[in-house]
A and B are shown apart, each in its own frame.
Chain A
Amino acid sequence: MTLGFLCLILHAHLPFVKHPETEDSLEGRWLFQAISECYLPLLLALKRLLEDDVPFRVGVSLSPPLLEMLSDPLLKERYKKHLRNQIELSEREVERTSGDPRLQSLARMYRDTFQDLYRHYTETFREDLITPWKELESQGRVELLASAATHGYLPLLLHEKAVRAQVKTGVAAYKKHFGHSPKGFWLPECAYSPEIERALAGEGISSFILETHGVLYATPRPRYGYHAPIVTPNRLLAFGRDPDCSKQVWSAEEGYPGDGAYREFYRDIGYELPIEYLGNALPNGCRVPTGIKYHRVTDRRSKHKELYEPEVARMRAREHAHNFVFWRKKEAEYWSGVLGRAPVMVAPYDAELFGHWWYEGPLWLEFMFRKLAEEPDVVKPITPSEYVMYYPVNQVAQPATSSWGYKGYHEVWLEGSNDWIYRHLHGSQERLISVSASCPNARGLLRRALNQAVRELLLAQSSDWPFIMKTGSVPEYAKSRFTGHIQRLEALLDQIEEGAPDPVFLRQIEESDSVFADLDLAGLFTAVK
């Protein structure tokens, strides 16, 4: 008898970063690091599960900017070059560490890993990291969720048209890359307010995921807490995140990734070896992580780090996976008794946690599904849209405004470091809406300019910019990206109003801000509502 359901969701997203004229940069490497450390290892882990016929289920959201970057020919070329540089560096590392057998075995591990990655990327997947996900979906193992166009933080966009533009473009990009309509939708940062829901309903979406209190604080009070989805006034299914699932994996204090046996994220040879030695492993001599890390967490409170032991870490990942399954079983047993209904435990994570921050994450995932399969009827893995097959009738309630950010509301994206962006964003947005309305039948150059203006707005709306301004990792980059897009948008609107777009300027930004290049976006705002 099924006692409970585990609905695991991986959300993969990176902001659209493409600078054709800058060969290599810190920000440009985000994508390459994520491919090498997360997307490829995750795909390989799921493929192994498939080969062994393990009945796993995962909801996967690949954000539209990520899809656009993964299919961009220039970025694909650059990724291969990046991997070749990494292989070359790891070969030099094998030589450099020849005096120390323990270190050298780690250097060898990296060399073999990078070579494998290159082979898988070019041969197994033929430089296409989108089709494998599509295949996993057609095999019934993965449900692909759509997401907003550029990860816009929907509740703070103010105009309904802007929210609609994000959702519609996101869905259009999904259809373009996956060839069918989405059922589930990933709300960027799980950010929700009742106003944004109509845009989702208008696109035929049937479910989305919220932070725990998005469901728990719903009106009226939900009978099953977050252990069952609620039906929103627009007849969408809203799932609430299971706090235990997130705490065990996320929490820096008590979560698995902080275990002493796991690889230490911050000790990277990119920060430690001489710049001359690292050479083109660094972009323009700027220190960034190279992905070669020889140490383990050891003790989180101490600076002293021991060498990494891959086999110990692997066994620890297995232990943690079993621990996770143990607690899910307990949770299912308890709640199915109390509620009289098998609880659903919704476990959404940023995909980049698995492999990038938590190097052993993909392994953990693989062990977890294998363990779950040992008792397939106790806790059953499902995807959001499968839930209604088991429980088609659910309670109607209005979910609460919420997000999965710090403190549970919008503060991360609206506070002292980033609140200044909204007057520009809303102002430009309003201007774009009125300028678009004045030329509903634009053709030729004018239409291209309008299309590009919408692209610039979408890029400016990305929640990544205020997030980075707040967390302070590369705030200058985030500021320049945000202001850059607003300035381009304003310049384009001026030119459109004058009826004379500048073709050279237009071509230049069409090339660099090429997100959704083949979608006709102008219609999003020209259409009279």
Chain B
Amino acid sequence: MFWFYTGTVIVAALAIGFFFYRRARQIVSEEETFSRTEASFEASEELGTAGPNESHGRDRETHASAPKAASPDEPYRRNLRTDNLSKEVEVAWEAADIIDFPAGAAASPHEAAGLPPTETARPLRVKDAKARYKESPRLVLMARDPSWLYAYWNVAHEKYQEMYKKHLDEWGLSRPVLRLYDVTPGRVREHTDIYLNDEADNWYIRVDRPNHRLYAEIGRAFPDRFLAFARSNEVTMPPGGISMEIAEEWAPLAWETYYSKVGDAAGVSSPMVWGKSEE
């Protein structure tokens, strides 16, 4: 009987020891994965984009913002899918999908005020809301000012997987790219490639092309070709200065003495901003 008890205790101790050993190993390997991802991320930034200061004299004047999650509160998800995909693909997909609302985002003003939700009504079913729009692939361009464009995108998982399987052998040579087309009427159509990283789902692009008409495609650049996932809307960049076009019957007067100086004064507005500057 003694041996039976002793044996059980030893087996149990071994089992527990093994469990913790495994867990420790797992954590280490996960951390390794994550730091590797970050490293490749920095490298790709260096390779792919020109900062505002480096861009002088270059044909491609793009400047990429630091990639970040859509919501400032949301950390990148660490637990990756178990699908049979390479880490890189998974990271990209997860990045495109992380736009969950910040945990604890109040569904009702109750919660915002720190009060318990009312009991009469069913809870707000927020968890049930599938936010289906996240599934639809899209690339949207927004012209922020005469110099800067903002782009955000969702890439459909299936499309990504499909492309990955199809181009398995050269996948390692490919890079995620935002291809920006200039389709200003009366100009030769041209494009610029902005090299992204797999984590990004939005990007600020310095274009400095007032009045130009642009659209973009997002996809991957392989050594010999570019494959697109999604195409954006077309945008027109705002004019950044006084028009050179002059209507004869309304020929301008007194511009040199006064109006040409005025443009710089733009943008003194709301009281909250005013109040802020007082602080």
Bound Cα distance from A479 to B112, whole angstroms: 10
Q: Which of B68, B115, B154, B272 contacts A471 (CB 8 A)?
A: B272
CA distance A414 to B203 in the complex (A): 12
Does A218 belong to the interface (CB within 8 Å)?
A: yes
Is A194 in contact with B268, judged by CB distance below 8 angstroms? no
Contact of A222 among B108, B239, B250, B254 (CB under 8 A): B250
Interface stretch of the complex, out of A77-85, A173-181, A399-407: A399-407
Please tell me which one of the listed residues A194, A225, A419, A473 contacts residue B259 in the complex, with CB atoms under 8 A apart. Answer: A225
A511 to B241, CA, bound (A): 48
Instruction: State whether A491 and B129 are in contact (beta carbons under 8 Å apart), knowing that A350-B271, A483-B105 are contacts in the complex.
Output: yes
User: Using Cβ atoms and an 8 Å threshold, which residues of chain B touch A483?
Assistant: 101-102, 105-106
Binary flags per residue of A281-320, CB closer than 8 Å to B gives 1, else 0: 0000000000000000000100000000000000000000
Encode contact with A along B248-279: 1 for CB under 8 Å, 0 otherwise: 00111111001100110111111111111111
Q: At the interface, yes or no: B70 with Cβ under 8 Å from chain A?
A: yes
Q: Are B279 and A266 in contact (CB under 8 A)?
A: yes
Given the interface pairs A158-B140, A357-B274, the reply to whether A216 lies near B121 with Cβ below 8 Å is: no
Most buried by B among A22, A189, A258, A484: A484
Q: Is A424 an interface residue (CB 8 A)?
A: yes
B125 and A221 contact, CB distance less than 8 A? no
Residue B124, interface by CB 8 Å: yes
Contact A220 B245 (CB under 8 A): yes
Residues from chain A with a CB closer than 8 A to the CB of B99 are 420, 423-424
Q: Within the complex, what minimum Cβ distance (angstroms) separates B224 from chain A?
A: 32
- Segment of A111-119, A120-128, A247-255, A383-391 in the binding face: A247-255
Query: At the interface, yes or no: A217 with Cβ under 8 Å from chain B?
Result: yes
A61-B141 Cα distance, complex, nearest whole Å: 32
Q: Is A504 positioned at the interface, with any CB of B under 8 Å from its CB?
A: yes
* Residues of A in contact, count (CB < 8 Å): 95
Contacts of B238 in A (CB 8 A): 193, 400-402, 409
The distance in angstroms between the C-alpha atoms of A429 and B83, with both chains bound, is 32
Check A484/B271 contact, CB under 8 A, given A223-B250, A395-B250, A410-B144: no
Nearest CB in chain B to that of A334: its residue: B258
Q: A25-B113, A339-B253 are in contact. Are A221 and B242 (CB under 8 A)?
A: yes
A120→B270 CA distance, assembly (Å): 28
Main secondary structure of the interface of B (DSSP, over half): loop
> Hey, which chain B residues are within 8 Å of A222, CB to CB?
250, 252
Question: A424: which B residues are within 8 A, CB to CB?
Answer: 99, 131, 133
Look across to chain B and name the residue whose beta carbon is closest to the beta carbon of A472.
B276
**Chain B residues with CB under 8 A of A271:** none
Do A408 and B142 form a contact, CB below 8 Å, given A225-B258, A252-B277? no
Chain A 19-63, CB-CB to B under 8 Å as 1, else 0, gives 101100100000000000000000000000000000000000000
Give Cα A366 to B217, complex, Å. 56
Q: Which B residues from 193 to 246 make CB contacts under 8 A with A?
A: 202, 233, 236, 238-246
Binds A, one of B6-14, B28-36, B52-60, B145-153: B145-153
Contact of A484 among B105, B250, B259 (CB under 8 A): B105
B274 to chain A, nearest CB (A): 6
B residues in contact with A494, CB < 8 Å:
125, 128-130, 132
In the complex, the answer to whether A217 meets B143 with C-beta atoms within 8 Å is no
Task: Give every chain A residue within 8 A of B242 (Cβ-Cβ).
Answer: 216-217, 221
B251 and A223 contacting across the interface, CB-CB below 8 Å: yes
Closest CB in chain B relative to A522 CB, distance in Å:
19
CB within 8 Å of A: which of B151-178?
152, 154
Residues 471-512 of A, flagged 1 when their CB comes within 8 A of B and 0 if not, give: 101000101110110111011011100000010110111001
Q: Chain B nearest CB: distance from A305 CB in Å?
A: 13
In this assembly, does A520 line the interface, its C-beta being within 8 Å of a C-beta of chain B? no
Which residues of the partner chain A approach B233 to less than 8 Å between Cβ atoms?
Answer: 158
- The distance in angstroms between the C-alpha atoms of A284 and B91, with both chains bound, is 45
Task: Kindly provide the distance from the CB of B119 to the nearest chain A CB, expressed in whole angstroms.
Answer: 11
Which A residues lie within 8 Å of B244 (CB)?
221
Q: Is B188 an interface residue (CB 8 A)?
A: no
- Distance from A476 Cβ to chain B, minimum over Cβ atoms (Å): 8
B274 touches A353 (CB 8 A): yes
Query: Which residues does chain B contribute within 8 Å of A479, judged by CB atoms?
Result: 102, 105
In the assembled complex, the Cα of A417 lies from the Cα of B72 at a distance in Å of 7
Q: How far is the CA of A257 from the CA of B134 in the complex (A)?
A: 47
Say which residue of A217, A223, A252, A487 sits within 8 Å of B107 (CB atoms): A487
A251 to B277, CA, bound (A): 9
Judged by a CB distance under 8 angstroms, whether A259 is at the interface is no
User: Given contacts A220-B243, A357-B271, A423-B140, are A409 and B145 in contact (CB under 8 A)?
Assistant: yes
Does A105 reach chain B (CB closer than 8 Å)? no
Q: Would B152 and A491 count as touching, CB distance under 8 A? A: no
Q: A406-B267, A488-B107, A505-B121 are in contact. Are A19 and B113 (CB under 8 A)?
A: yes
Residue A430 lies at the interface, judged by CB distance under 8 Å to chain B: yes
Contacting pair A423 B145 (CB below 8 A): no
Q: Which residues of A contact B150 (CB under 8 A)?
A: 414, 419
Does residue B118 face the partner (Cβ distance < 8 Å to A)? Answer: yes
Would you call A21 and B110 a contact (CB within 8 A)? Answer: yes
New A-B pairs, 8, CB < 8 Å, besides A419-B152, A467-B272, A490-B133: A25-B113, A246-B268, A252-B277, A424-B99, A427-B131, A431-B133, A480-B111, A505-B121
* B interface, CB within 8 angstroms of A: 65, 68-72, 99, 101-102, 105-113, 115, 118, 120-122, 124-126, 128-134, 136, 138, 140, 142-146, 148, 150, 152, 154, 202, 233, 236, 238-247, 250-255, 258-259, 262-263, 265-279
Write 17 A-B pairs (CB below 8 A) sorted by A numbering: A22-B109, A220-B246, A223-B253, A225-B252, A258-B278, A404-B267, A408-B266, A408-B267, A409-B145, A427-B136, A480-B111, A481-B112, A491-B125, A502-B125, A504-B120, A508-B118, A508-B121
Nearest 5 interchain pairs by C-beta: A427-B133, A408-B266, A401-B238, A409-B145, A490-B129
